[in-house]
Amino acid sequence: MLQIILDRVIREAQRAGRLGPRIDTTYEITFPEIDSGEHQTLAHSAYYLVQALTSAKAQGWISDETAMHMLFKFAGEEINVHEELIRVGAQHGIQTSMQPETQPESKL
């Protein structure tokens, strides 16, 4: 995504005459490594966020949709919550239908 944006900015700068034809427009995108301490902090934060969202949902303070939106936003992921809820519902239906039926014990 970042590369698409940068490529467009470079092309527009060239068209506008801001970058001459001899200027090297190659680039490399690099990000710093995340150390394991940061992973641990993020894992703890995610755990506590899930606990808080679960509690808020149980209290009736938020909907599943809001909880999902907040969780994925924290994770830095963009999803279509409505589509994800449909997939979750479909998966739940499949799991339910795949579970063996339990028969009441007969008393002989």
Same domain, residue pair 71 and 45? yes
Same domain, residue pair 45 and 85? yes
Determine the pLDDT at residue 41: 86
User: pLDDT (tens digit, 0 to 9) for every residue of the chain, 108 residues total?
Assistant: 889 999 999 999 999 988 888 899 999 999 877 677 777 888 899 999 999 999 999 999 999 889 999 998 988 888 888 888 888 888 877 654 444 444 445 455
Same domain, residue pair 39 and 92? yes
Full domain range(s) for residue 77: 33-98
Count of C-beta atoms within a 10 Å radius of residue 53: 19
Same domain, residue pair 22 and 55? no
Site of tokens 């239906």 = 93
Tell me, yes or no, whether 79 lies in a domain.
yes
- This prediction's pTM: 0.48
How many structural domains comprise the chain?
Answer: 2
Cα distance between residue 10 and residue 14, in whole Å:
6
Same domain, residue pair 51 and 23? no
Q: What's the half-sphere exposure (Cβ side, CA atoms, 13 Å) at 108?
A: 1
Same domain, residue pair 25 and 46? no
CA-to-CA separations, 100 to 33, 80, 96, 107, in angstroms, rounded: 47, 32, 9, 21
